[in-house]
Chain A
Amino acid sequence: MLPDAEQLLENLSRQLEPFIAEGAALVGIHSGGAWIASRLQQSLGGDLGTLDISFYRDDFSRIGLHPQTKPSNIPFDVEGRHILLIDDVLYTGRTVRAAMNELFDYGRPARISLAVLVDRGERELPIEAQAVGVRMTLKPGQNLELLRDAAGHFNLKLHEEISE
């Protein structure tokens, strides 16, 4: 039984409220993280940006460029800001590393914190989240996807990969 994504979002929102109140800015990682960051901004306010990390992935030389890239958009000055990096699922940590690399090309943040809806463990890099909706364990080969319906309502879906 998967947790209710809307409830996780509420949980995350409560944890992030004090940071936003102190002037932290939200930056969502495309696409799930960008949806979450946008919802968080609706309830908490503050600055909002999005990152598409396609140009910073560490597996480019193996799998090539993602066929659908979206422009990154950070409409505020990153220099000296506290950035709340938002993603849907934290797994190996490679996406977060790529996002931090890209963020530094916009300026030098005072601090970066990581907030995720789901932390499924199994890290391959020394990266941890400061705010987590829920921690859960999945089998290798299982993938968790965040879905957004027409009304903007979030749901989690579990995919079983046929083989790795």
Chain B
Amino acid sequence: MTAPLLDIRSLHLGVALGRSAHHPLLKGVSFQIMPGEAYGLVGESGSGKSVTSLAVMGLLKRPLAVSSGEILFKGQNLLTLPKREMRRLRGNRIAMIFQEPMTALNPLSTVGRQIAEMFVLHQDKSWNEAQKLAIDALASVRVPNPDRRAKNYPHQMSGGLRQRVMIAMALACNPDLLIADEPTTALDVTVQAEVLRLIKELCAERGTAVLFISHDLGVIASICQRVGVMYAGCLVEENETRALFDTPRHDYTKGLLGALPRLGSRSQHGRQRLVDIDSIIADRSKLTETRFIAPRGIEGSQP
């Protein structure tokens, strides 16, 4: 068996409140990603998907802080790595695509220059060489007229194009792991499909592992081999994508799947009834360490 590329071991993370108080956000999250594997993290807003990814990138900002656990990347614990070493990994070996292509690029800098920065930072290229490599990178994400587009500013591009620029930037140094935090959520559906296909194909070509974060089960299903379901700071279920969809074990997963409309599935009344997950997310401080999830209606009613 090969060693995992990314191995997160009982990661606890929270908001530091004052000197000793601590409000937990992640409560012992553990999962592994194999080299070249696409792993999906699903869960509703606030379930801890994004902070998990930021923790891996080492981009947590105060007052967010990891309290315990390990994040092993190629056997190296990222949490204890010196800043300088971490910077060398970031962008180079572990790259990230963000949700908002509209704001994730610097509006005052050409996209070519912003991609070129990767080569200057991690491959010691001169700006001239880097600019040329940036054009190649744009071509590799199938941006038409890459040499002309490289001179464009972000505001001259559509959302889909900008997200391609982000992908080109993230994959510029052929990272081992790509973290995609809801990369298609802000895009319209047709563009979404193109961008997804692009991520999938490029990563498969280069053998890049993907940590794909989304609340969209359909998107996850189309790209990931394995899925982890997050709820209120815990990884409540993890399985092969197909198996998870066929036989969800956890109540919350069942709820999530039940809330998905499906083509062709109708009940005898001629209408499919979607399952409703009770509206308000549970107050984390009242959740116990066990991974049991009470029906939210009941839990919410307790003082």
Chain B associates with chain A: no
Chain A contacts to B: CB under 8 angstroms: none
